[in-house]
Chains A and B, each alone.
Chain A
Amino acid sequence: MKPAPFDYVCPETLEEALSILSEFGEDAKVLAGGQSLVPTMNMRLARPAMIVDINRLPRLADIRSHNGSIHIGALVRQADAEREQRIPQAIPLLALALPHVGHRQTRNRGTICGSLAHADPSAEVPLVAVAVNAQIEAQSSRGARRIAADAFFDSFFTTTLAADELVTAATFPAHSEGCGYAFEEFALRHGDFAIVATACAVRIDADGKTDTLSIVLGGVGERPYRCDTDAWLGRALTADDIEDVAQTASARIDPPSDLRGTAKYRRWLAQGQIRRTLSRALEGAR
């Protein structure tokens, strides 16, 4: 399996990259870590006419703190984020999820932003982005914009990014007092895509009441699925409440049935994961 021929460009400035993207539109593909793009090209599922390799745009490789958020540039490898000492403190949910993304050898090249742009409905990083309300920064020759994670993921492997837009960074809100997080997934082998994955972020206010509750599921639909948890806000959650959330939320999903599991099985996995992640996140918040 070899890729079909393509034109290749490795720009040294962002402006050059953006101008090539605007020239080629749908015919061009951005190459970041290549851990999803190259396999699909090798299998000829993708046959882009032009590859825009962004690996030599050093300005995109930074992690920095900015106004209470952590900015992760488009060239930050998953392994670099994993090793970066600030991440477990600043974005605990991302630190919990990253070891589940593929293997060490793929994380050495795969990028955080590439995982977002690829929009695999079983991928871990998109779940984290939705759960903590990350923002995706996109740029084209027409200008720059920020897209909330909730509005970024469209469907299976599709985002609301335009063909000429490049993701330059993702910005994750920094962890604050009173927040707790948990991540769990079930996969056939360590490093495989999740059959079901759950990311949970909660915040408890000074009175012990839950004022933010995000539970986001992967592997149950065409995009990260945010459970509707409004009914449980504004009070201190008991063990009965946790059970109630797990049962109600998992009953509402409509997951696919495929070779790896039936819809019923996925609902059952989701229920257990919601129960456990919510309990752990609440403990972390207290």
Chain B
Amino acid sequence: MIRTSKSEHASINLRVDGKPVKADVPPRLLLCDFLRSQCGAKGVHVGCEHGVCGACTILVDGRAVRSCLMFAVQAEGAEVKTVASLGSHDNLSPLQEAFRAHHALQCGFCTPGILISAQAFLTERPSATRREVEELLAGHLCRCTGYTSIVDAIMATEETTA
């Protein structure tokens, strides 16, 4: 049983993008801040910190969740994946490639969260309808308002991977 007072740190072990991480964290540290500041996962973007914007979305044990609504201490034992797990600069994933081809990003702030959500969604629903993809995107805010091209990119990935 983990029990930590506000002035103490809890010791946690987890995996981030495939690498084991061991750290000491105060209970109130948000998972998004932990990933950015202590794991170098700068692909975790932090926008609203109340679950609305979706920029901080990551995979925890395979499920897309908001990292601003979890405490780092809760990730003990978890397999965490950020956008960096999808592909690399020289080797983009099909979804990332489709985002490039369809101009699905402008400033790119919302992009990591959307990529993660879309990747998890396509794994679960490989032939989702356009309407379902639009509903998925309701969980993300793009301030550059590129939604149409984002939906196009996700739909295109569906076709190529189906």
What residues on A are CB-neighbors of B21 within 8 Å? Answer: none
A191 within 8 A of B: yes
Pair B28/A6 contact, Cβ less than 8 Å: yes
CB of A27 closer than 8 Å to a CB of B: no
Tell me the minimal C-beta distance from A186 to chain B in angstroms: 15
| Contact of A11 with B by CB under 8 A | yes
Q: Which residues of A contact B135 (CB under 8 A)?
A: 99, 190-191
Given the contacts A55-B74, A104-B139, A5 and B50 also touching, CB distance less than 8 Å: no
Binds A, one of B4-12, B35-43, B102-110, B150-158: B4-12
A103 in the interface, Cβ–Cβ < 8 Å?
yes
> What DSSP secondary structure best describes chain A's contact surface?
loop
A105–B28 CB distance below 8 A: no
A5 touching B2 by the CB < 8 A rule? Answer: no
Contact A42 B49 (CB under 8 A): yes
* Residues in A neighbouring B138, C-beta threshold 8 A: 103, 189-191
Inter-chain contacts of A43 with B (CB < 8 A)? 50
Contact of B2 among A8, A42, A79, A102 (CB under 8 A): A8
- How many residue-residue contacts, CB under 8 A, span A and B? 107
Are A103's CB and B28's CB within 8 A? no
> Are the C-beta atoms of B66 and A7 separated by less than 8 Å?
no
Chain B residues in 8 Å Cβ range of A10: 1-3, 73-74, 76
Q: Using C-beta atoms within 8 Å of the partner chain, give the interface range for chain B.
A: 35 or more
A108: Cβ under 8 A from any B Cβ: yes
Does B142 sit within 8 A of A, measured CB to CB? Answer: no
Write the chain A residue with the least CB distance to B26: A5
Quick check: A42 and B136 within 8 Å, CB to CB? no
Known A43-B50, A105-B64; contact A9-B1, beta-carbon cutoff 8 A: yes
CA distance A16 to B30 in the complex (A): 25
Using a CB–CB cutoff of 8 Å, the interface residues on chain B facing chain A are 1-7, 10, 26-28, 30, 33, 49-51, 54, 57, 63-66, 68-71, 73-74, 76, 117, 121, 134-136, 138-139
Chain A interface (Cβ within 8 Å of chain B)?
1-12, 16, 34-35, 38-39, 42-43, 51, 53, 55, 79, 99, 102-106, 108-109, 189-191
Could you pull out 24 A-B pairs where Cβ atoms are within 8 angstroms? A2-B30, A5-B27, A6-B28, A7-B5, A7-B6, A8-B4, A8-B27, A9-B3, A10-B76, A11-B1, A35-B69, A38-B71, A39-B51, A51-B71, A55-B74, A104-B64, A104-B139, A105-B65, A106-B51, A106-B66, A106-B69, A109-B69, A109-B70, A191-B139
